[in-house]
Amino acid sequence: MSNQQTLVIIKPDGLTKGLVGEILCQIQSNGLTVVNYVYTHLCRNIVEELYASEREEVYFQEVVDWVSSTQVLLLKIQGEGAVEKVKWCIIGRYPKGIRGQYAENWIKNIAHAPDSESAAKQELKLFESIFKRRKNMDKDLFNKKKIFALTGMSECGKSTVGKYFDSQGIPRLKIVRLFERVRDKQSPGENLYQFTGREEQRDPYALWNSFIEELIAEMEAQKVRVVSIESLYGGGLGPYLKKRMGEHFCIIYVDISLEIRLERQMQREKLSTIEEAKKILLPRDKIKSDSGIPALKEIADEVIDNSGNLEDLYQLVDEVIQRHTV
């Protein structure tokens, strides 16, 4: 199969039913990649053009009314055999496709995808200007801004690096606090981890976009163009921020061997044996490993070796700041 690009339009009912996360998981599990996306409210003219081949069908006006009624999500997908995989394996009606499980009728049927490579090229061309407009809006939003995202395993020194950033005039923001602001606006009083877990399953892009809004709002409130955010957890958030923000986003993985982390844990907690330190550190490491933290090292823009002393660490951070802010 050839490498192809295709389109998915998640319709209003797909968004309302919280199926974005499930569709994205299906895309990934089929070896495909989302290379671009945009939430948008499509005008009637462009929807009529999308469904032009069905103009004579009795349902034509109804489907145009529905798809143009409110916001939809456009996804540009790429990969081997993308057109067939998306149309028939992921979106298709039978036997386990998204439509087969969740469609109400021919109109409210969750999502649209082209059924041939030629149709995919035509539909992607139809929406090209919308994708470009979103990209240009992001350029304006992140213009002259820099976000350093700190990550790493337990007791690797993320907080030490964050505090040093702060001492150099680069505010240290906590990721959990920004998500709390999102939660407080959308579901006040709910347990934060239940809220973020549910929303990442329903529509991760919407949740992460709300996070970005809070991040930019805080930067503007503090009147700064450079910040550090701590601690970047595993999973999709890091890759998403990296893809959307591009050069304005820098993942810093603070690296240190387990042996040194255990020794420092012993010193800090005044423990007498390595085994005592392991009982504290290893369970926390497992949580981080299970959440995907090690995978962030593979996409990190900077990997900082924190096996030396504080002076060594600060020098490495200074060099990172120099490389990314000048």
Q: Which residues are catalytic?
A: 112
Whole-angstrom Cα distance, residue 238 to residue 151? Answer: 10
Q: Are 76 and 35 in contact (CB under 8 A)?
A: yes
Whole-angstrom Cα distance, residue 255 to residue 232? Answer: 14
Please name the residues in contact with 205: beta carbons below 8 A apart, sequence gap of 6 or more: 20, 24, 37, 39, 73, 240
Enumerate the H helices of the chain as residue ranges. 12-16, 20-29, 44-50, 60-67, 82-84, 98-102, 117-126, 128-142, 158-167, 175-186, 192-202, 204-222, 237-245, 258-269, 274-291, 293-299, 310-325
Whole-angstrom Cα distance, residue 110 to residue 43? Answer: 19
Neighbours of 142 (CB within 10 A): 19
Q: Are 133 and 25 in contact (CB under 8 A)?
A: no
Q: Give the residue among 22, 6, 11 at the shortest CA–CA distance from 205.
A: 22
Q: Give the residue among 141, 159, 149 at the shortest CA–CA distance from 217.
A: 141
Neighbours of 226 (CB within 10 A): 20
Quick one: CA torsion of 317, 323, 324, 326, rounded to 10 degrees?
Answer: 120
